[in-house]
Amino acid sequence: MDRLLEEACSGPFYLCRPAVADMIVTAIHYNAGTLRQYELHAYAVMPNHVHLLITPAVALSKLTKSLKGITAKRANVMLGLVRDAGEYRWSSAGWATRGSPADQGVRPTIGSLACT
């Protein structure tokens, strides 16, 4: 998976933005130093993912939820993305929740999905 992420030539590269990358690094250090969720050995913020070398002090699920939760919320604010997954026009989340105003009238019907 790491190889595929590192070789990606398309898709979102939000972590290339210095403000977003700086926020991620700050959160990594905060979760290590202040929350003491892990001992931090090394990290690398890549364009589309993050590498961490840590010794966990809490359950991995708790650590992941804490770190990814806060960074995703902050990045969404910085990038101007949607507040709720259902509002994002290019996601199936909107269809599952009856859609958002953004995708009203553009939701495909079964007939429109057929290959021609």
Domain boundaries, the chain: 2-81, 85-116
Q: Which residue has the higher pLDDT, 7 or 63?
A: 63
Using CA atoms, how far apart are residues 36 and 94, in angstroms rounded to an integer? 37
Tens digits of residue pLDDT in 54-78: 999 999 999 999 999 999 889 888 8
Kindly report the pTM of this predicted structure. Answer: 0.63
